Amino acid sequence: MTAQENQAKILILATEDCAYPGADATGQAHMSYPENTYILRVRAPAMFPEGAYNVLAARIEKVYRIMRDQGLDPRRLRLTGICTVCTRAFIKEVNQMNDLMAELGPPGSEKKAA
């Protein structure tokens, strides 16, 4: 297994109206980020009467609880806002997550360390 195959993969769910254009602008500016990063363009969440942020935050918190119950470090999931022109912020977030994945190791290794 090569070092690249052994490296953790980072999946970015990028909204088509904001984060995806930001990621695209990063590429157009010929700025590089780790090769283990995959970007999936998704539709922006629909608006909810309770407010989209509140609904999304509640769902993310539920996923964090499930992750903890499964012995996974909840830092593996990060919710970040990236605007259409925030190329440096995009690179910074990807690099921080890449560093964290290197520190944590493969999913499930948290259980072994505990």
pLDDT tens, 16-68? 888 888 899 998 999 988 899 999 998 876 666 666 777 778 888 999 999 99
* Number of domains, the chain: 1
The half-sphere exposure of 98 on its side-chain side, counting CA atoms within 13 A, is 15
pLDDT at 53: 72
pLDDT at 73: 93
Q: What is the pTM of this model?
A: 0.77
The half-sphere exposure of 71 on its side-chain side, counting CA atoms within 13 A, is 9
Cβ count near 62 (within 10 Å): 10
Instruction: Give residue 47's domain range.
Output: 3-113
End-to-end distance of the chain based on CA atoms, in angstroms? 27
pLDDT at 68: 93
In which band, very low, low, confident or very high, does the pLDDT at 1 lie, cut at 50, 70 and 90?
A: very low
